[in-house]
Structure 1
């Protein structure tokens, strides 16, 4: 009797970075179909969903009923916000 081994495909770092950059540059809520159109290279649907799951888990994006939004602030942006803020 043969056993079938299923291997799960993992997205490459370049693909993840490409999706991150596209979402970061959008600066607004984006639907999945719109994200697919704006990506510089085609990405398989399941691969894109896996990347979005990872980005949501890591706190970089929020996925809601209206679409996907980049919410992660880099350290330099946080430093600027802290400098402008009022200390309590």
Structure 2
């Protein structure tokens, strides 16, 4: 993963990443960036938030569309097993 100079100026802390993750997990459905900023317990620099969202998208935890952002990461072990092993009908 290539990191540009501008991203290094807004490097998020682990606590900030976890805070954004928890807020997105708790969101009911698709959420826009302005809505996300309002729901966050602490203010986050816009460029830092963009870096976090880019990381979450690359790690397949969120999906970003024209309508907004939604949490897609699933920790269900049974679902992972079905996806990995396949399901016979």
Structure 2 unmatched runs, 5+: 1-5
Query: By how many angstroms is 1:8 displaced?
Result: 2.5
1:10: Cα distance to partner? 1.0
CA–CA distance in structure 2, aligned partners of residues 80 and 44 of structure 1: 36
Count of residues in Structure 1 that have an aligned counterpart in Structure 2:
79
Q: Where has structure 1 moved over 2 Å in runs of 4 or more? A: 6-9
RMSD value, Cα: 2.1
CA distance in 2, matches of 1:59, 1:78: 17
1:79 is displaced (CA, Å) by 1.4
> Under a length normalisation based on structure 2, what TM-score does the superposition of the two structures give?
0.79
- Normalising by structure 1, we get a TM-score of 0.79
Structure 1: which 5+ runs fail to align? 1-5
Q: How far, CA to CA, are the matches of 2:15 and 2:48 in structure 1?
A: 12
Bigger Cα Rg: 1
Tell me the residue number matched to 1:71: 72
Helix, strand or coil for the counterpart of 2:42?
coil
